[in-house]
Structure 1
Amino acid sequence: MTYYIKCTLKNKKKEARGIFSCTFNFDRKRIRELRPGRFVMVWLPGIDEFPLSPSNYDPETCTVRLTFKVRVIGTQTLSAINVGDAIFIRGPYGNGFKVPRELAKENDKPVLIAGGGVGLAPLMPLIKDLLHRNIKLHVICGFRSFDEAFFIDEIADLLENNFTISTDDGSMGIKGTVVDVAKELLRRKTFSYVYACGPEIMLFKLHKMLLNKRVPHQMLVERYIKCALGVCGSCIINGFRLCKEGPVFNDVKLKKMKEFGRYKRNASGVRELIS
């Protein structure tokens, strides 16, 4: 899908410090092609174009919610638009999260979902999908501090007590990182599968730990994306195009990525160390 859909802002909410949710009307046909973990390209003419994975989509109301952290001019501009303003969206693109057959069957072992920072946003459709399938879940919501925490009420409504909050500074929930919490949970419980999204350093550490514990997993990886069509090569990680084969990869593919957790590429395609 290469053409753009003009989308009008229906609602805007400041979720936390520097984090906003914008809900737009969307194309009735395209919305049925969305799946948890897939992404769309947001185009702000004359300013920027960038990928976002929806934090919610509703075929009944034909709306899409995009949740993002304000970082550069694109997200700065998006956070400043008003209800009634229009932007352009193309997509959806990529491969989203998959539910293995064994999870869909009756399974007493819960699934662990780990979200770090704004990486929690694209996990929300997955959480709802798995709950709809009657799959038991435990969700980790990790933030730097309490003023960056978001979606807590929404998650509490969905999961009751089956979630853990952590902050790096201890200002909310458990003091520690998502990886710290996951390590402790995996020590006390047996999980059949893990899904994760967040900063790549977090994902890399979690990936290594899960490999050692032989827990299968999928992770949504973020990279600079230009065309989203698999042509330009700007989002390639060791031969895998994030916009086509990803952005969600399973543990088998992640093991083959020597750059995962170590290097990224900037807008010019130059390889840089991940800090």
Structure 2
Amino acid sequence: MRAFYYIENYSKISRSFITEPCPCHLAEAGECILCSQLHGKCFCDCLNWKGVCIYQEFNNNGKAAKKGRETFRCKVKEVEHLEGDVLLIRFIAPHKLALDLVHPGSYVFIRTDENFYFDVPISIMESDIESDVVSIMIEIRGIKTKKLLDIKIDDEMVIRGPYWNGVFGLKSINELKDNKALVIARGIGMAPSIPVIRKLSNNKNTLKVVIDKSPYKDVYVNEYLKQYSEGYEEINTIDKGKLTDEIKKLILNEIANGVTLIHVAGADILSFKVIEFLNSIDKRDVKVSCCNNAKMCCGEGVCGSCTARFQGHRVKRLCKVQTDPRNIFEGRRFI
């Protein structure tokens, strides 16, 4: 299993976890998001050190990046067209890959073509470590995802991974135990919410799950919700870019009942509005986690497609940075 250590360094937004491919190519370029010495500084300022030194790992590896993520050819076990633009695929993965993909925020790059420019990042809905069957739900949107419509049972897909930064606020999710949490999932966000719900349930938390199936006709994760929660409530969460009164009332009631973490699985506007609402009622102590919806191409922080600008002319690689969602949305420049 991979190492999973949380480290905070010189910037509050640069909190992440160390994985097997660390140090990566960013360290070679002097752009490491964790190690100050591999980011052009001449001193070490790691906080909450957990016993793993990236700088030492880099030197021990001959001042070179470690081997990157592998590519696997996986056999498709099941394909289901749920509705017009929603596709459910189950494929058989190597056992090690299935183990690595059980964690919240796990995702892979998939393609059906040998051309690696055509792969697309997809969050994991379920990874069964007994059968090694991995389930993903895909919303067909553009040229890359349209190619996936041609997949048939027994075909092979090319999988690159594993990656784990598909959720912001992982520390809050992993540390919450014997407590209460609220999960709000909308649209395709219902798929990546399942590993989060499973983790929170396994940590003996009491869960309130809210599903907004819009724009779909049905809730396509019923079988998983039955396994990991005591059901769910269907609520319209957002209307014309604003939180509905119904979801606001529910959030207030759940906080009054002791909820200390809210996970939002949906578009950025939903996460932003939930954080904005919590701030407006002076509930900054309620922790938040959410989907990482950044555009991604390489997944290694090199290509720049995931970068976002923040106050102080800071540029962050959102495929790598692991932090509290408030740090992502509150300090972000949209122009």
TM-score range, shorter chain: 0.7 to 0.9
Match of 1:41 in 2: 109
Could you tell me how far 1:16 is from its partner in structure 2? 3.8
Q: How does 1:182-197 map to 2 (within 5 A)?
A: 182-190=247-255, 191-197=259-265
Within the alignment, does 1:254 sit opposite 2:322 as a pair? no
Q: Pick the structure with more strand per residue.
A: 1
Q: Deviations over 1:34-88 (max 9, x none)?
A: 2111211112324721101100001111121111111112222213311000110
Match of 1:236 in 2: 307
Query: Please, which moves more after superposition, 33-42 or 71-80?
Result: 71-80
CA distance in 1: counterparts of 2:163 and 2:224, whole angstroms:
26
Within the alignment, does 1:103 sit opposite 2:176 as a pair? yes
Match of 1:267 in 2: none
Where structure 1 has 5 or more consecutive residues not aligned to the other structure, the ranges are 170-174, 264-275
Q: Specify whether residues 236 and 131 from structure 1 end up closer, same or farther in structure 2 by C-alpha distance, changes over 3 A only.
A: same
Q: Deviations over 1:221-270 (max 9, x none)?
A: 21221111111221012322121114xx42342245414xx46xxxxxxx
SS in 2 for 1:185: helix
Percent identity of equivalent pairs:
24
Within the alignment, does 1:64 sit opposite 2:134 as a pair? yes
Q: Specify whether residues 139 and 16 from structure 1 end up closer, same or farther in structure 2 by C-alpha distance, changes over 3 A only.
A: farther
SS in 2 for 1:222: coil
Across the aligned residues of Structure 1 and Structure 2, the Cα RMSD in angstroms comes to 2.6
SS in 2 for 1:139: strand
Match of 1:216 in 2: 287
Within the alignment, does 1:5 sit opposite 2:111 as a pair? no
Could you tell me how far 1:127 is from its partner in structure 2? 0.7
CA distance in 1: counterparts of 2:293 and 2:84, whole angstroms:
21
Q: Specify whether residues 27 and 115 from structure 1 end up closer, same or farther in structure 2 by C-alpha distance, changes over 3 A only.
A: same
Q: Specify whether residues 144 and 252 from structure 1 end up closer, same or farther in structure 2 by C-alpha distance, changes over 3 A only.
A: closer
CA distance in 2: counterparts of 1:86 and 1:29, whole angstroms:
18
Match of 1:269 in 2: none
Q: Specify whether residues 10 and 100 from structure 1 end up closer, same or farther in structure 2 by C-alpha distance, changes over 3 A only.
A: closer
Match of 1:78 among 148, 156, 170: 148
Match of 1:29 among 89, 93, 96: 96
CA distance in 1: counterparts of 2:174 and 2:155, whole angstroms:
43
Give the structure-1-normalised TM-score.
Answer: 0.81
Q: Deviations over 1:123-178 (max 9, x none)?
A: 101111211221111111112255153223542454234x2113479xxxxx9999
Compare CA radii of gyration and give the structure with the larger one: 2
CA distance in 2: counterparts of 1:176 and 1:258, whole angstroms:
22
* Matched letter for residue 204 of structure 2: N
Match of 1:137 in 2: 207
Match of 1:159 among 229, 238, 251: 229
CA distance in 2: counterparts of 1:199 and 1:57, whole angstroms:
23
Query: Please, which moves more after superposition, 53-62 or 237-246?
Result: 237-246
CA distance in 2: counterparts of 1:153 and 1:32, whole angstroms:
21
* Matched letter for residue 319 of structure 2: C
Query: Please, which moves more after superposition, 191-200 or 13-22?
Result: 13-22
CA distance in 2: counterparts of 1:77 and 1:254, whole angstroms:
32
For the Cα contact (< 8 Å) 2:186–2:212, is it kept in 1?
yes
For the Cα contact (< 8 Å) 1:115–1:123, is it kept in 2?
yes
Could you tell me how far 1:99 is from its partner in structure 2? 4.1
Give the structure-2-normalised TM-score.
Answer: 0.67
